[in-house]
Amino acid sequence: MSMSGVETATKLPSNLVQSAYCSEIGRIDILMSFPKGMFPVSRLGRCLCGCVQLDIEFDGFGLDVCHCTNCQLQTGSPFAAFLAVPVDSMVASGPIKKFTDHATVSGNTVERYFCGECGSPCYVGVVRAPNTAYVFSGLFTETGDLTPKVHGWTSQKHGWTHIEESIPQYAEDPGLFPE
């Protein structure tokens, strides 16, 4: 296409550059801005010892925070903050082991994956959402853009845990599914 002496070239989505050619000054590369969700974002993670590595390509980065007793026991902390991602957007490598948890407060079977070397919790799978991995946010190398979008099982939260009023809270199962 030609507009006022400018010819546009093919868009290169891998590096988000639009090339144009101007007869006056030659080729021009323009950094493009695209709406959120148009291209997947890569997020890397690892366990404590580094044996388990995660690479996720997905553009939905709101955290689901679970306060149930079983998540507290698995993490050794007052809650578990997860990023819900489609299983097919995640590549996990290393000595990953699985514990199948049938004794959950929701009654749903939860598969809890962890590093077989250092024991770091890595992600969970819930039978009712077989195409979703709930990845622990503590594994990610970059977390500055992550914020909670919902808190579940707050009936079991530690009394001293403060939750911002603007974030949805559910006393029991919020029925989380991937976005």
Give per-residue pLDDT as tens, 108-144: 899 999 999 999 999 999 888 889 999 999 999 988 8
The pTM of this model reads: 0.73
Q: How far apart are CA 81 and CA 59, in angstroms?
A: 17
Q: Read off the tokens for 84.
A: 């819900």
Contact 80, 167 (CB under 8 A): no
Q: Read off the tokens for 128.
A: 């009712």
My answer on whether 26 and 50 are in the same domain is: no
Which amino acid is residue 88, in one-letter code? D
Any idea what DSSP says for residue 141?
A: S
Q: How far apart are CA 115 and CA 5, in angstroms?
A: 58
Q: Does the residue 173 lie in any domain?
A: no
Number of domains forming the structure of the chain: 2
Q: Pick the residue with more confidence: 172 or 114?
A: 114
* pLDDT (0 to 100) of residue 108: 85
My answer on whether 84 and 14 are in the same domain is: no
Which amino acid is residue 138, in one-letter code? G
* pLDDT (0 to 100) of residue 73: 92
Q: Does the residue 169 lie in any domain?
A: no
Give the residue among 68, 54, 60, 40 at the shortest CA–CA distance from 158. Answer: 68
Q: Does the residue 163 lie in any domain?
A: no
Give the residue among 53, 12, 10 at the shortest CA–CA distance from 140. Answer: 53
My answer on whether 147 and 65 are in the same domain is: yes
Q: Which residues contact residue 25 at a Cβ distance below 8 angstroms, ignoring those fewer than 6 apart?
A: none
* pLDDT (0 to 100) of residue 148: 93
My answer on whether 20 and 47 are in the same domain is: no
My answer on whether 22 and 46 are in the same domain is: no
Three-class SS state of 167: coil
Estimate to the nearest angstrom the gap between the alpha carbon of 64 and the chain centroid. Answer: 9
Beta strand 147-152 pairing with 62-66 = parallel
Range of the domain at 21: 2-31
pLDDT digits (tens, 9 = 90+) for 23-81: 554 444 444 444 444 556 789 999 999 999 999 998 776 899 999 999 999 999 999 99
